[in-house]
């Protein structure tokens, strides 16, 4: 297991997946623009070492797990200690195998690198870190974009890790946006109902697996730190916070402790989001009173540049969501060949052989009833002859195998992501707020069709007899075709 953020940087650099930016870069929009340009070109991870107005030794680490070459998820593969050229479905299968293993409890330690510097009271100044204003539309400098939000269920011992955005309001206050169905928000609601503030800790720049797991939608009651240990193959070292009764990864670069105030709000937003849009506007939202900041010497601020593909959230969830849904289907003994959530697609593609008429609805219902699949607006079902990570083939199936009437199933009253760009203003603020639709695209030929009347694929594998294909392959050099 890669022990911390700094070791991960070394691995990326060794594998040609990181570039150190030594030129001076302004935190006001320039850093974000450089990051986005590199994302659009599937460039390397970036370590900005010279931020305008800040001393050396306060770098910013960006494009950490964005789409890469030779494989979109190359840096995720490296985080999992796999070869960077692993096929996406190999990464999904390996992640699923590890995540389904026995949970590994964390190891509690007395101290760690994140305690090298401790600031409390009047010494706290959130602006001491070179937090960028990433997008031109952003309503402030967002220090919390790539991290782990840690909260505890007040009714039990369950501790949840999530990832919610945080804007700096002033030296000691952070704004927060949490979706209404997130586990962090459920903890907040329970405390707020009793007029209590919610203790929280924000761990920035932990080891890559811990941060990766923080982006996942695990069921309530499941400990992300134990899943991270299972995926990494060893316990995550955790250290107790200074001012709240929570534990954080000991190797975190920066830890921000505080309380989400009950029944108090501050204006937050807008922000360029993972949907590829800025949607949701500027509204009153909860905020955090910061009580302590701890950090490593020469702390590395980690950020993600949300937006149109392919930033971290979408690249990661293409693996983690696929793996979680695959494990859900296996647990329910529902047969399928492979599962893949394409990068920047609000849904899942499943490759399977039809078992009986209506099997497509069985698969889709199983996906939507899972925590990981509840927000997948779209389910696309393709035959077991299709690689669901091959988007060209998926689109080909949608436009050739899906019946325009019978293949489309719309399910009302489904959970809704409030950041969805297609929502009309009345939907975003109306009485049916947070309910929308699920859609099934059944892009398969009906199993009841006679074999002789089922269309035959015309490609290299299916269009010619095996002896003809072998003859062509044996003479390929003779043809003189490069």
Q: How many CA atoms within 13 Å lie on the side-chain side of 270?
A: 13
Angle at 207 between CA 201 and CA 212, to 5 degrees: 80
Contact 177, 164 (CB under 8 A): yes
What gap in Å lies between CA 423 and CA 437, rounded to an integer?
11
Distant-in-sequence, close-in-space partners of 99: CB < 8 Å, separation ≥ 6: 227, 230, 231, 323, 324, 327
For 82, other C-beta atoms within 10 Å of its C-beta total 16
Cβ–Cβ under 8 Å, residues 174 and 290: yes
Residues 232, 266 contacting (CB under 8 angstroms): no
Task: Please confirm, yes or no, whether 273 is among the known catalytic residues.
Answer: yes
Q: Judging by DSSP bridges, how do beta strands 347-351 and 378-382 pair with one another? A: parallel
8 Å CB contact between 268 and 283: yes
CA dihedral 448, 342, 236, 113 (to 10 degrees): 180
In the set 192, 226, 237, 273, the catalytic residue is 273
Distances (CA, A) of 87 to 7, 94, 247: 24, 11, 35
Query: Which residues are marked as active site?
Result: 273
């Amino acid at each position: 297991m890669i022990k911390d953020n700094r070791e991960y940087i070394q691995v990326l650099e060794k594998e040609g997946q990181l570039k150190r930016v030594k030129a001076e870069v302004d935190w006001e929009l320039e850093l974000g623009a450089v990051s986005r340009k590199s994302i659009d070109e599937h460039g390397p991870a970036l370590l900005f070492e010279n931020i305008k107005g800040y001393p050396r030794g306060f770098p910013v680490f960006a494009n950490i797990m964005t789409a890469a070459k030779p494989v979109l998820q190359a840096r995720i593969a490296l985080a999992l200690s796999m070869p960077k050229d692993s096929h996406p479905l190999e990464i999904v299968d390996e992640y699923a195998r590890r995540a389904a293993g026995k949970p590994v409890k964390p190891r509690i330690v007395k101290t760690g690198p994140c305690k090298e510097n401790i600031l409390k009271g009047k010494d706290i100044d959130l602006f001491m870190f070179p937090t960028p204003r990433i997008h031109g539309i952003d309503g402030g400098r967002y220090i919390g974009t790539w991290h782990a939000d840690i909260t505890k269920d007040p009714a039990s011992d369950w501790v949840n890790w999530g990832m919610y955005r945080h804007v700096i309001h002033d030296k000691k206050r952070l704004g927060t946006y949490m979706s209404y169905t997130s586990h962090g928000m459920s903890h907040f609601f329970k405390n707020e109902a009793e007029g209590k503030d919610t203790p929280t800790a924000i761990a920035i720049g932990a080891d890559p697996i811990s941060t990766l797991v923080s982006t996942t939608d695990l069921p309530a009651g499941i400990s992300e730190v134990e899943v991270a240990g299972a995926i990494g193959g060893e316990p995550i070292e955790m250290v107790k916070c200074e001012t709240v009764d929570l534990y954080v990864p000991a190797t975190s670069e920066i830890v921000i402790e505080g309380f989400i105030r009950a029944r108090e709000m501050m204006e937050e937003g807008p922000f360029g989001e993972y949907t590829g849009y800025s949607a949701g506007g500027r509204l009153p939202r909860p905020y955090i009173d910061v009580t302590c900041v701890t950090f490593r010497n020469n702390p590395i601020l980690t950020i993600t540049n949300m937006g149109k593909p392919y930033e971290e959230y979408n690249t990661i969830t293409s693996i983690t969501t696929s793996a979680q849904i695959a494990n859900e289907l296996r647990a329910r003994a529902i047969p399928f060949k492979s599962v893949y959530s394409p990068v920047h697609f609000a849904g899942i593609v499943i490759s399977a052989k039809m078992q009986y008429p209506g099997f497509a609805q069985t698969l889709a219902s199983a996906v939507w009833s899972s925590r990981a699949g509840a927000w997948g607006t779209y389910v696309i079902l393709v035959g077991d002859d299709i690689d669901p990570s091959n988007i060209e083939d998926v689109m080909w199936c949608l436009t050739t195998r899906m019946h325009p009437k019978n293949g489309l199933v719309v399910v009302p009253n489904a959970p809704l992501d409030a950041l969805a760009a297609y929502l009309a203003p009345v939907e975003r603020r109306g009485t049916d707020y947070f309910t929308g639709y699920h859609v099934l695209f059944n892009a398969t030929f009906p199993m009841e069709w006679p074999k002789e009347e089922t269309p035959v694929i015309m490609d290299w594998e299916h269009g010619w007899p095996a002896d003809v294909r072998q003859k062509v392959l044996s003479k390929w050099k003779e043809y003189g075709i490069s």
